[in-house]
Structure 1
Amino acid sequence: FLLATPEGEAWTDFVATHRSGPNGGAYEAWSRRGMVRWTRHHAEAGGYEYRVVEVVGQDPLAAQDYRALNTLQDQLEAAGSDDPGSAFIEPEVTTYPYAYERIAQLFDSPNAPDLVVNPRSFAYGRQPGQHGGLDVVQARAPLVFSGPGVKAGAVVDAEARAVDIAPTIARLLAMPLIDGRDGSGRSSSQRGVPPDVYFKRQDGRVLEAVLDDDTGKPERVYILLLDGQSHMELTHRLETESDSLPHLRSLIGRGTIPPYRSTPNLPSITWPSHNAIGTACWSGHHDIVNPTYYLRESKQTVSPQGQQFDSARFLGDEVETLFEAVHRAFGPWDGAMGGAFTASINEPCVRGADHGALERQLVGDREWLKELTRETEVDISPRWADELQRHGHHLIGLTDNRALAQARQLFLDSTHPAPKLVYHEFSLPDGASHDYGPHHPGAREALDETDIRIGRILNLLDDKDLFESTLFVITADHGMAVQNVELNANPARLPERHGMATVTTEPLIYLRDLDIAVGVAHDGRTAQVSVLDNDRDEAGQQDRISGAQIRVIDNKGRQVATSRTDTGGNAGLAIPADLRPDEMTMEVSAEGFNVRHIRLDGTNVAPDLRTVLYGA
């Protein structure tokens, strides 16, 4: 359905999976162009290395250059278009930075799916702008470090990933190295080295190229997260509109920039990506693997992004947020003037923050906050109410104005210290880029409005004599790609719509499969079958499936036995003694599960995908 139907071929780039086996099994990516199979191994220097063990046709992930398609003009040329609004980039001309790593990490989580569907860059949904995929356009985010501790006015050659941001901040704040785990899950002591990471688990590394001790040491860090902001669009505007974005331009001009910016998490979507930045870990390790995902143990679908508030509980216990690490290093805030005070402003990464808007933990007087909110309502463009209300964005612009009021209050309030760490989400660029497209005038106006808000923050910090001692980090959680909305595409839903039993949370697919064991008696007259849920519960047990229909046919298509499982998930069958087990096939079906075909010798009956897709 995903690759061999007309819709699947038109919409799907590739499908990735993990097959269990010795030494960690193997990972696969299947596309119409070909398939690749690779394995993961501990690297001598720490972390993992990846080895390709099989390619049929073309390796669909062979192109992994993180430097590709770095400008708007590059995208237009790749798409063969002079219109940014219809610059649809085919898989053959894009790249997939760190593809083997970014796919493999996802399957480390107990919340991982069976399949990850990567649509063609332009083939998902009904909005002109989208993200979530592995390709370089959706997977490139702006990244700038500006302030004490980093090079000033520099472009540095650094391969930056979202998980590298927090370790770099920790280094700049002079936080202590600890005996934590690296990307392979092994602690420093297990790897036989001194403490060498800053977090409980750390997939990222310090971006040494941005550092400069001669520019001083920051006293605090302010992360400006421009949600969904296209790096290419931001760069294009800075290079072609000399008077635009004065406040961002000022920060960028005094900062240091990796020229190809930052590669985000997979999926490159808000909740998993924000927490990848804030924990130094990919989503397969912090466990918020998608905005919505399936918990196999409880057979429950959860949606941290859907509920927005109170989602910190979904973050895994094996990771540590920047807020938690700052408190470990500098002491918890005591509720007055002691300790490190931290703030998460409308930010999905919130666990451990003293002020955490999305955990309903607001520090400060509410009436004063409302007054500050009213003072800057003039910044909100009437365009959003006039044009986007019909899309359901009733709060677009208003939300970021309320976040600005929080930021102002936190630095104006004299009853607590100035925040040591602020992680501030600006949602307007994402909302506008979705509804208009990333290169539309509406998206540009959203960035202009965001720049005004950033200017208010910078001016306030300057008035409080805090600007020069603050390190600013400008980044985003993902990129944004233009979509062909005429396709109205949604490849991940194809199996479900063709009748398969799945839990689908785009771009993830969880298969509802049966685990079947069969044993044939020595005399060949009977067989015993057990049918279980393939997924395990919280105790590691598999539910026994009662009432499963079993039908056995011989190698000439004749039905030779039928039965149903009892309450224990077991069934007995009378079978012809003259037929070998491999000459009989059993079809097992149960409500809510995919039909399974298995020979009575226990071997699986399934088409060879290499033959079906490639004739190999």
Structure 2
Amino acid sequence: MPHLHPDHERVVAALTTPDLAAIVDLVVWAATDEAGDRYAFAANHLGRVRLEPGGRHTVVSGIDPIASEDPMAFLPYAAELADPSPSQSIDNAYPYAAERLLSFFAEPDRSPDLAIVHSPRHFFPEVGGHIGEHGSLDIIQSRAPLIIAGARARRGGYVDGHARLIDVGPTLAWLAGVPEAALCDGAGAPLDGRVLREHLVDGPPGPVVGILWDGAHCGDLLDLAACGELPAVARLIAGGRALRGGAVAQFPSITLTNHTSILTGVGPGRHGVMGNVYFDRAKSERVVPNDNSTWHRSSDWLHPEVRTVFELVGEHVLPRVGGAPRTASVDEAIDRGADYSTMQLIRDSGQAGGAGGLGDRLPDPRSSPFLADPAHLADDYFSWGVQVDDLGLTQMRQLYARYLRDGSST
């Protein structure tokens, strides 16, 4: 059985006392045994467990703190509403626990020694914290919405099932014309994700659009669509299908780690973006990719052997036709290989503050045709979001004006 360094053992022991149970949901780590086998571990005040891929659990002490890895837990939506923040980990679910943790702890220079997971009910507004478990391993925080619609999508509306966010990139690339045999990194290793063929129909490659709703709550989104409050989303679902179980995020279930996982098809242990903030031991520096002054540099932190969807399409799909971009990355940080990129415009601008220095170039949020209630503009973040979304739509219309006008595939 792998053992922690004594210093780490003391940290785990200190963090898993009953008096911290309201704050600490789990302490997680990975370790290698004498035979060279790598395992993930989770512990809290209830006990400690060794985790292996495929849902295999070996209780080390006490009782298993991860009683369930069910990716369809808390469904239907009413079940989630009945218990939105479980008070104990044994009442929660942590899908693909070993797979996600082993990826997170696989990067030799950027992975931490341990990770501490918030309990769902932890609230710390005095230091700018979120309500609950942002970044957690648990299913509610990790379940992102997944809707597949269009000519190549199987119909079905709301479908019982789930996928993983690492499956999205391979699926987008394959739909765009990348051969399935070519879905690997630059060193030839297969991607962690797979093509979601069971939700697709046969047909020729064609234009593919991916919309990333950062932070969207799967249950809320699908329920609002079903209730008629999100008619555009409902039309997408009617033209394809929405998975009730959504797509399980990588750990930690936060923005930059998962944007990168979506667009590369691999987990953080391979792509190298361990979080919105992390420490690189090799460079002895704190890396903060999730900031408006650094978003345009996000691809700098990708490992060179990893390939993005844009790079895969660039290598395997026909060249640009008539000057139109083959691929475009609009308002997305992980843009390496894209023929057109918002972040490249920011890099070319020479602004020292990155996106944070472009406020005067963004549209006036008060004039947005999509603004339903101007009172929301009192929130600075909402106001900025309106500006960025409007500019993103303008970019898409300009990029694909020819396609929008006459339906040309170019």
**Superposition TM-score, scaled by structure 2 size:** 0.82
Deviation string 1:191-219 (CA, Å, 9 cap, x unpaired) is xxxxxxxxx64001122210212xx4351
How many equivalent pairs are there? 377
Corresponding residue of 2:177: 174
User: How has the CA–CA distance of structure 1 residues 25 and 98 changed in structure 2, closer, same or farther, with 3 Å as cutoff?
Assistant: closer
Choose between structure 1 and 2: higher strand proportion: 1
In the aligned structure 1, how far is the partner of 2:182 from the partner of 2:264?
16
- CA–CA distance in 2 between the matches of 1:328 and 1:24? 36
Residue type at the aligned position of 2:216: Q
Q: Distance in 2 between matches of 1:97 and 1:151?
A: 25
Q: For the residues of structure 1 that align with 2:164 and 2:24, how far apart are their CA atoms?
A: 25
Whether 1:23 and 2:36 are equivalent positions in the alignment is yes
Q: Deviations over 1:289-324 (max 9, x none)?
A: 101110111211111112222221101112110000
> Aligned letter for 2:46?
R
Deviations 1:118-170 (A, max 9, x none): 11123154244762111111011111111112212445554410011122223
For 1:118, give the aligned amino acid: V
Separation in 2 of the partners of 1:186 and 1:24?
23
Which consecutive aligned stretches of 4+ in structure 1 deviate over 6 angstroms post-superposition? 370-376
What is the alpha-carbon distance in structure 1 between the residues aligned to residue 59 and residue 303 of structure 2? 33
- Flag structure 2 segments of 5+ consecutive residues without an equivalent: 1-13, 349-360
- Given that 1:201 and 1:320 are in contact with CA atoms closer than 8 Å, whether structure 2 keeps it comes out as no
Counterpart among 86, 95, 98 of residue 97 in structure 1? 95
CA distance in 1, matches of 2:363, 2:59: 60
Quote the Cα distance in structure 1 between the aligned partners of 2:244 and 2:269. Answer: 27
Question: Could you list the runs of 5+ residues in structure 1 that have no partner in the other structure?
Answer: 41-48, 80-86, 188-199, 364-369, 419-460, 471-616
Secondary structure at 2:343's aligned position in 1? helix
Aligned to 2:283: 298
**Percent of pairs with identical residues:** 30
1:246-277 CA-to-partner distances (Å, cap 9, x unmatched) read: 21111111112333111111111010101111
Tell me which amino acid in the other structure corresponds to 1:309: H
Residue 96 of structure 1 deviates from its aligned partner by: 0.6
- Corresponding residue number in structure 1 for 2:11: none
Distance 1:77 1:375, change over 3 A: closer
The answer to whether residue 144 in structure 2 is matched with residue 132 in structure 1 is no
**Distance in 1 between the 2:73 and 2:315 partners?**
39
**1:259-338 mapped onto 2 (5 Å cutoff):** 259-306=244-291, 307-333=294-320, 337=322
RMSD: 3.0
CA contact (8 A) 1:265 1:272 kept: yes
Question: Which protein has the bigger helix share?
Answer: 2
Q: How many Å separate the matches in 1 of 2:145 and 2:177? A: 25
Q: Residue 513 of structure 1 aligns with which residue?
A: none
CA 1:88–1:14 in structure 2 vs 1: closer, same or farther (change >3 Å)? closer
**Rg comparison, structure with higher value:** 1
- In the aligned structure 1, how far is the partner of 2:377 from the partner of 2:395? 22
2:391 aligns with 402
Provide the C-alpha distance between the structure 1 equivalents of 2:336 and 2:199, rounded to a whole number of angstroms: 28
Tell whether the 8 Å contact from 2:122 to 2:131 is kept in structure 1 after alignment.
Answer: no
Paired with 2:347 and 2:156, the residues of 1 have a C-alpha distance of 36
Structure 1: distance between partners of 2:327 and 2:250? 24
Task: Give distance in 2, aligned partners of 1:186 and 1:298.
Answer: 24
SS at match of 1:408: helix
Q: Deviations over 1:490-517 (max 9, x none)?
A: xxxxxxxxxxxxxxxxxxxxxxxxxxxx
- 1:10 is matched with which residue: 22, 44, 53? 22
The residue type paired with residue 144 of structure 1 is I
Shift in Å, 1:245: 1.6
Q: 2:163 aligns to what?
A: 160
- Normalising by structure 1, report the TM-score: 0.56
- Going from structure 1 to structure 2, the CA distance change for 1:343 and 1:173 (only over 3 Å counts) comes to closer
In structure 2, the CA distance between the partners of 1:99 and 1:30, relative to structure 1 (3 Å rule), is: same
Which one-letter code corresponds to 2:344 in the other structure?
Answer: E
Higher RCO (C-alpha under 8 Å, 6+ residues apart): 1
**Residues of 2 paired with 1:54 and 1:3: CA distance?**
16
Which amino acid in 2 is paired with 1:223?
Answer: G
Cα drift, residue 405 of structure 1 = 1.4
Structure 1 distance, partners of 2:180, 2:220, is: 37
Q: CA deviation at 1:180?
A: 6.2
